[in-house]
Amino acid sequence: MICRGASLAIVAFAQIALAAPTRTTFVVPLDESPSWRDMAYLAAIPASQQVNPQSPSLFAIQPGKPFPREHLDYLKRFKPESIIQIGDKATPISGYKSKSFPVSGAAETSLKLSQQFWTSSKHAVLCQSDDYDSALIAASVASLLKAPLIYSNSAELNVSIKTELKRLKTSNLISIGESKPQFSGTSVLLNGPLETIIWATKNSFKITYLAAVNPVDRNAFTTRKLSLIGAQLAAGRRGLVVPLKFHVEWKKPFATAIHTGNLPPNVPKSSAPPKSGTIEFGKVKAPFILTGDKDEHNLKLSVDKTNSGQFAPPLVSGDQITLNQKTYAVSLGTRTRFGDTDVHLTWPTAELLNTQLAKYYSALGSPPEHLCIVGFPDTIPHAIIGRGGIVEEQASDLPYAIPPGSEFAQIGVGRIIAESVQFGTLYAARALTYNQLLSPNWKNQASQAEWENSLGPLFENVGFANPHHLEAKDVPWQTPPAEGVDPIRAPSFAQASPLARSAVLAHSEHSWWRGMGTMFTWDAEVLLAPTIVESGGCGVACLDREPDNRSVVARLLRLGAVAFSGGSRELSAEAQPLRMEFWNGVLSGQTIGQAHRRALNAGLMIIKDSSEGPGGAYRYSTNVRMQFGDPAIRLNLPSSPKTAPAKTTIQGNRITVHSPEKWTVVRTFVPPDWKQWGDKPLFAVRAPGSYAMSSWSGDGRDKEIPLVTAEFITKKRVTSIAQAAELPESLGWIGKWYSSPNPDGTFTTRFTVRMIDFDQVTGKINRVIEKIDYQITFE
C-alpha cells in the first residue's frame, strides 16, 4: 500500500507537471536482478505510446552508469525534444532537455505516469505490482486501449488509485491477473493470455501481431529480462504478448566415455569408437551408447530407458525421447553445442511450443500475420531437425512459421536477441521509431560486401544509389603486416565506411557465428545506420555454440541494425533462392517477416518440385534459414519500382504470369576456392521478382536457373491447371502446382515458372517469354 506521504508527493508532482513534447524518450534504469524497476518499465510502455503514438521511444540503461555510446547514437538520430528519466536520480545527458521522474516503487511509478500523461481515460488497466507475468500482458492491453497501466499492492483499490480513477473519469477497469477489485464502473477480469485474446477479438481489436515471451527469463537463462522487449514491441505494433512459460532445458549435455566391451543387441555397429554414458533426470537413470562413423557422421543413440539392459531402437538428431514424463528433442555430436559432450537433450520441443501457440491462434481466430519470438534458444528453443545435408543436426525456427494443417509458411516470424536487456530495449525503440530515424545521409544508400555483388540492379530499381561494394582488403588493419608479425584485420570496416551509412547490406563470404566474413565480428564497435543486413555466409545465425550467447547477429542489432537474415548452419549454393526471395520481398514493400515467409515458401516450393527427401540440400537450406528482428519492420523504399517486377494476374479462369520488365546481366564474383573455374568470367541475370534456383555444377561453379513464382488467391479451390501454349524446351513450368487453404476460407495456389533462357558462361540472354497464360478449373 502507498503511504500517505507518497500520495501527497504524487499529487504535488502532477500539479507542476507540464505536457510532454511530441517527441519524448523515456529512460528506465534496470537492475540485473528482478526489482520494482522491471514493473516500472512495463508501466512506461503505454505512457510512451500516449506521448508518441506513432513512434514510442523507450529504453533501459544500467542504474548509476552513463548512457552507452549506442544509446547516445540513437538519441542523436531520434532527436527527442525531451528525455524523461524514471528513477531515483537522472543521469546528465549533454545537449538534451532531461527531466527527472523521481520514484521508488512500481505502484508509485504507475500512478505518477498516469497523472503526468493522461488528462482523462475511459479505460484503465490494473495489475498487481508483484505479478510480472500479468504485467507483460497488461502493458500491451493498456497500449491497445490507450490507457494507463496502474499497479496495486493489494487485492483491493487503495485511496490513491480510487482518487486517480476518479480524476481520469474512468468507467471501465480491466484487471489482468487473478484479482478483480470492487469498482463503481464496469469491471472486467482477464486471467491469462487466452482470456485476453478472446476479450480483444470480442471487442473488435484486429490483432495481427503476437510477441511470444518466456517470463521465466526475469531471473533465469543467460541473457535475462528480454521478455520486456516483447511487451514493448507488441504494444508498438498494437498486438499482444503471449507467454510460453517453461523452465527450458536447452541442449542439456550428457558426458560420454569410450565404450568397452561388446555392443549389446539392437545397438548399431560403429566404425568410430563407440561411446557410452548415462542420462540422469532425478531418479531416472538411463544408460546409453552412441555409435556412428568417423567425423561424427551417422551418429545413433541407443538408450536403455528402463535400465534393464534392453536398448530401444536407435535415435538420431531431431528424434524425440520421453524420459521423466517429458519429451525431449535429441541432438548428437560435439558440433551441436559448446563444450565436448556428444549427447544433448532439449525441452520443450518445438511441437510442444507450437501446441501452446495453436491455442492462442484458435482464440484469435487465425494465425497472426507476425510472430515475434523473444529470446535466445535457451529461453524459447529452436526446433531441432535431423537427417540434414551439410550438418546432420539443424537448429530451426521454420516450424513456427507453419501453422497446423498447412504445408507452407503463413506466419511472418522474427526472433529478437540482444546482448543485454539494455541493448534489447534500445533495439525495440529503434525498430518502433525507424521512420523517425530516416536521414538523407543513409536512407537511399545500399551496400554489398565481399563475395556478394549481384544484387545491385534490384536495389537500384527501387531508387537506391549505385551500391558501394566492400572487399576484404578494404577492412583496415588492427595489426598491420610486418616481418615476424601475423597481420590481423580490425573487427569491422571503419566508421567512415559507406557500409556504416547504408539502409540495406547484402553479404556473402566464409563466415561463422563470431564473424561475418572479414567485414564484421562479434566484438565490432562501428555504429551503424538502421540497416537491414542479409548474409549468405556459413553459420552467421548459429546460436548454440557459445555458453555466453556470443553472436555476431546480436552485435549487429546492438550497434544499429534493425534486421538480420541468414543461416544457423553452414550454407551451400542451394541457399541462393531463399536469399533472393527475401530481398524481392523487402524491396517490394513487404515487412521483413513477410519477406522471410516468402523466402521460406520459395524453398518449400523447390523441395516439392524436386521431390526432395529429408537429406536434400534445398530442404536443409530452408530449415536453417533464420530471421532476426521485429518481423513487422518495413524498409523505407526511396522510390516505386522503375521497372515492373514479375507478377501474376487472374481474370476468370485464366492466370497470366508476367516476366519482369527488365533483366540485367551481372558479372559475378568468383570465390577463390572455386579453383577449377579459376579466373574465367561468370555471369548471372537479375530482375525484380525473380530468383535463382542454384546448385553446384560439375565444372566447379554454381549453376543458376532463373525462376518466377506464380502465386494467386481464389475463393474456390483449384482442381487443375494447364499451360495454354507449348513453349521451347526448358521454358514454362514443370507441371506441378500446390493449392492450400487460408484461415479466411480462401485458397492460395503456387507454382514456379521459367521465363528466360540465359547462358551463365557467356552472359548472353537467349530468349525471354514476356508472359505465359494458364487455364485453371475450380471444384
CATH number, residue 613: 3.40.50.1460
Between 67-76, 161-170, 261-270, 335-344, the lowest mean confidence (pLDDT) is in 335-344
One domain, residues 652 and 523: no
Domain boundary among 151, 168, 191: 191
What pLDDT, on a 0 to 100 scale, did the predictor assign at position 595? 98
In a domain, residue 206? The reply is no
Q: Is residue 709 part of a domain?
A: yes
Does one domain contain both 15 and 132? yes
The mean per-residue pLDDT over the stretch 154-183 comes to: 94
With beta carbons less than 8 A apart as the criterion, state whether 24 and 83 touch.
yes
User: Are residues 680 and 616 part of one domain?
Assistant: no
Cis preceding-peptide flag for 348 (omega within 30 of 0): yes
For residue 491, pLDDT beyond 80: yes
pLDDT tens per residue, range 198-257: 999 999 999 999 999 999 999 999 999 999 999 999 999 999 999 999 999 999 999 999
Distances (CA, A) of 332 to 348, 384, 513, 572, 704: 17, 11, 20, 22, 34
List pLDDT tens digits, range 578-594.
Answer: 999 999 999 999 999 99
Q: What is the mean pLDDT of residues 178-189?
A: 92
Helix (H) / strand (E) element for 248: namely none
Same domain, residue pair 181 and 70: yes
Domain count across the chain = 4
Higher pLDDT, 18 or 377: 377
Q: Are 384 and 344 in contact (CB under 8 A)?
A: no
Q: Judge whether 198 lies within some domain.
A: no
List phi, psi (to 5°) of 622. -75, -40
Give domain status of residue 184, yes or no. yes
Are 60 and 102 members of one domain? Answer: yes
In the predicted structure, residue 8 carries a pLDDT above the cut 50: no
Q: How many Å apart are CA 601 and CA 590, to the nearest integer?
A: 15
Question: What is each CA distance from 454 to 69, 449, 680, in whole angstroms?
Answer: 34, 10, 17
Mean pLDDT, rounded, for 559-575: 97
Q: What average pLDDT does range 289-302 have in this prediction?
A: 95
**Mean per-residue pLDDT for 359-388?**
96
Same domain? 163 vs 38: yes
Nine cell digits for residue 774: 494458364
Residue 767 lies in a domain: yes
Last residue of a domain, one of 149, 166, 191: 191
Give me the domain span that covers residue 88: 4-191
C-alpha cell at 446: 545500399
- The answer as to whether 219 is a domain residue is no
Q: Please tell me the predicted confidence (pLDDT) of residue 679.
A: 87
pLDDT of residue 21: 52
Q: Is residue 403 part of a domain?
A: no
Number of H helices, E strands in the chain: 17, 44
Q: pLDDT tens digits, residue range 251-268?
A: 999 999 999 999 998 899
> Could you tell me if 223 and 375 are in contact, meaning their C-beta atoms sit under 8 angstroms apart?
yes
**Residues whose CB is less than 8 angstroms from the CB of residue 261 and which lie 6 or more positions away in sequence, other chains included:** none
Domain end point (choices 191, 218, 235)? 191
Residues 587 and 712 in one domain: no
DSSP assignment of 403-461 equals -TT-SS--SEEEEE--SSHHHHHHHHHHHHTHHHH--TTTTT-EEEEET--S-HHHHHH
Encode pLDDT of 394-453 as tens digits: 999 999 999 988 999 999 999 999 999 999 999 999 999 999 999 999 999 999 999 999
Query: Is the domain of 445 the same as that of 316?
Result: no
Q: Within this chain, do residues 481 and 603 fall inside the same structural domain, yes or no?
A: yes
* pLDDT greater than 90 at residue 17: no
Kindly indicate the confidence band of residue 339, based on its pLDDT and cuts at 50, 70 and 90. confident
Q: Is the pLDDT higher at 71 or at 2?
A: 71
> Going by C-beta distance under 8 Å and a sequence separation of 6 or more, which residues neighbour residue 318?
329, 330, 384, 385, 386, 387, 393, 394
pLDDT tens readout for residues 734-754:
999 999 999 899 999 999 999
Q: Is residue 616 part of a domain?
A: yes
Same domain flag for 615 and 655: no
> Is residue 541 located within the same domain as residue 652?
no
Would you mind telling me the total number of residues written for the chain in this entry?
779
Do both 503 and 584 map to the same domain?
Answer: yes
